[in-house]
Chain A
Amino acid sequence: MTDAVELTLLGNRLASICREMGVAMMRTAYSPVFNEGFDFVCALFDREGRMVAQAEYNPSMLGAANFAVRWALEELGADAFEPGDAWVHNDPYRGGCHLPEHMLLRGLFHEDELFGFAATIGHIAEIGGMAPGALAGDATEIYQEGLRLPPVRLMRAGEHVGDVWKILLTNHRTPKLTWGDLHAMLGSLALAERRVDELLAERGVAGLLAATGQLIGRSEAWMRRELARIPDGDYAFEDWMENDGITNERRRIAVNVHVAGDELIADFTGTDPQTRGPINATYAVAASATYNAVFHLTDPEIPRNAGCYRPIRIIAPPGSLVNVRHPGAEIGGNSETHCRILGTVLGALAEAVPERAAAADGSSGCNFLFGGVHPETGEYVAHYHFENVGWGGAASHDGNDAQCAPLAISRNVPVEVFETRFPFVTRAFRLVTDSGGAGRHRGGLGTERLLEVRARSLSVSALFDRMLIPPSGLAGGLPGGTTGIAIRRAGDGEFRLFTEAFGTVSPSKFSNVEVHEGDLIRLVSSGGGHGDPRERPRADVLADLRNRYVSREAAAELYSLEPER
């Protein structure tokens, strides 16, 4: 039995290994979505596939990390893993969140005895499929979204499995980036192997398994204490996806959050059936979003391992928007629908714990994808770009401005990096005045970015939501602004929606629109306010005015600020 102090130190050491895995990946990856965007997660598992530690990287992959490893183990059997092997897997129907997210998995051995596994999941920026950057806003089945891999060996006894690499790199539009990013992930796994082996040399396999078992039990007890503080009851809420990219019908996400004692069930019965378009979420996405919501409302110090997930159960009807069945398109389920599932669970729990709840956030990845030949290098480039949004105001504070939607902790790509890598000039990047919902605690502001095309032609795609349905306010707070994507074509005087300029069905979800040199693309993100805006302290409204977060008109109309004499 390891004592409490030693257990804490061990938990921190394991989490540090996971953090170091991420830093190694960030420093060695080729594509900006990795080295600038941090769109990955790193975790360690015991030999039964129970998570023993995880670093604070991307919450959207929380569920995937749990399920993808356990399911791969169940499918392959632990005997399939040999020292020096690494497996790759990106199948959303096998516990993944969406197709671009590739999991690399490696067995951790000490003196030929299996202790467990190291896993990284990372977003590979280009994976083939109908649109460069993979997030085609009007895909109707998974086969259009990119190359799908069941768990297969990428490395065997430390050597490349050439046939698998050939298939993979042949099917991606930017194979050099894929090569670099997968090797960054392999490097991260090698680092984990070294660090865990140091631990195993100190404790032995049986000793470390016993201690990590205790860590898991401790996290479970901690999470149960937190859940027991939420009043028992059934809390229902619903929200809507504005369309699926194929038709302009709204799609309902409904949840009943059942809290009983120290257990929480998020039941999505009543959610609309899966759609033709690519906004369907996998089971892992519904789980990730639910865990993410519960982690927002409970003690952030609970060590993230299998124990803290155990008291949280998810019911997601197969064939629904929150648990897509084969061969449904799913690529936007992670970026867009995750946000709405998260908001729906938080919306339900706002009734139970109002002091911890926040108004709705911008909740869209504002995914903008493009591909084409760079005029300066002659090389084909493709990129998955996302925008940051305003977060909802909360009972104790304003919403954060220009922060990644809460499905991720991703940073945006700096303008200098973006312009160096891709054929665009950034004409503006700024906060949008009045985009935060008015409230006693104001919603966070979104951003506006203007990108001028500097190539003869590029193929662009979009997968946005919240363009028609703004983030709602809470407790008397007002809704925030909407997101948007528009284009001012060279020679045209005004910005137009893509529906008007190119005849796309949806203004927010489309693929493979050809844009040309001189075209200007406008990307806008938006959070809802919390509490009556007339109760916002005058000094805060004046500060908002000085910073141009709020316009004079809004200050007078929404915050009842009288003009100074």
Chain B
Amino acid sequence: MTGAGGHAGSGAWEERGLAASYLEQESVHCECCGRMIVRLAWVSDGKLFCEPECARVYRSYLLPRLERN
């Protein structure tokens, strides 16, 4: 992966999201791309991501923009 650069950082897969219960209507979303998390979230620095790639894009692209604005 050469694109936006950066690294995914450390993290771990945790069971979260929609598949846990049909009684819950509130969805859980990736901190970076906004995608709904179905069953497994990549948890890194206390934030939920749908995959390690999103953690990388969050650090290299989104976070610097959010801090600037």
Contact = CB atoms under 8 A, between A and B. Distances in A.
A265 B61 contact: yes
Contact of B34 (A150, A261, A316): A316
B26 to A, nearest CB: 8
B38 A263 contact: no
A258 B65 CA distance: 11
Given A74-B19, A150-B22, A263-B2, A318 B29 contact: yes
Contacts of B25: 326-327
B32 A262 contact: no
Contact of B4 (A263, A317, A318): A263
A260 interface: yes
B35 A283 contact: yes
A350 to B, nearest CB: 21
Contact of A258 (B1, B4, B22, B53): B4
Nearest to A323: B34
Interface in B12-27: 18-19, 22, 25-27
A114 interface: no
Nearest to B39: A74
Contacts of A316: 33-35
Nearest to B62: A315
A71 interface: yes
A267 B62 contact: yes
Contacts of A67: 35
Given A74-B40, A258-B61, A265-B61, A313 B2 contact: no
Nearest to A234: B65
B3 interface: yes
A277 to B, nearest CB: 21
Contacts of B3: 227, 260-264, 311
A94 interface: yes
Contacts of B62: 267, 269, 315
Interface in A50-103: 67, 71, 74-75, 93-95
Contacts of B33: 283, 313-316
A317 B19 contact: no
A325 interface: yes
Contact of A94 (B29, B38, B53): B38
Query: Which of B27, B34, B53 has most chain A Cβ within 10 Å?
Result: B34
Chain B interface, >50% SS class: loop
B18 A262 contact: no
A18 B65 CA distance: 41
Interface residues of B, number: 25
A327 B5 CA distance: 36
A264 B61 CA distance: 11
Chain A: interface residue count, which band? 20 to 34
B8 interface: no
Contact of B27 (A263, A315, A325): A325
B19 A75 contact: yes
A260 B29 CA distance: 25
B62 to A, nearest CB: 6
A313 B33 CA distance: 8
Given A260-B5, A265-B4, A267-B62, A71 B22 contact: no
A75 B39 contact: yes
Nearest to A311: B3
Interface in A216-235: 224, 227
Interface in A145-178: 150
Chain A CB count within 10 A is highest, among B5, B36, B61, for B36
Contacts of B5: 260
A315 B34 CA distance: 6
B27 A326 contact: yes
Contacts of A323: 29, 34
A313 B57 contact: yes
A323 B27 CA distance: 12
The listed residue with most B CB atoms (<10 A of its CB), out of A67, A260, A317, is A260
A269 B35 CA distance: 14
Contacts of B32: 315
A280 B36 CA distance: 16
A263 B5 CA distance: 9
A230 to B, nearest CB: 12
Nearest to A227: B3
A93 B27 contact: yes
Contacts of A95: 36
B15 to A, nearest CB: 11
Contacts of A262: 2-3
Interface in A238-297: 258, 260-265, 267, 269, 283
B38 A265 contact: no
A93 B61 CA distance: 26
Contacts of A326: 25-27
Contacts of B18: 75, 93-94
21 contacts: A71-B38, A74-B19, A74-B38, A74-B40, A75-B18, A224-B2, A260-B4, A261-B2, A261-B3, A263-B1, A269-B62, A283-B34, A311-B3, A313-B33, A313-B53, A313-B57, A318-B36, A323-B34, A325-B27, A326-B26, A327-B25
Shortest beta-carbon contacts, A-B, top 10? A263-B3, A74-B38, A318-B29, A316-B34, A75-B19, A261-B2, A260-B4, A71-B38, A323-B34, A261-B3
Given A94-B36, A227-B3, A316-B35, 17 more contacts: A74-B38, A75-B39, A93-B36, A94-B18, A94-B38, A258-B4, A260-B5, A261-B2, A261-B3, A265-B57, A265-B61, A267-B61, A267-B62, A269-B65, A313-B33, A317-B34, A318-B27
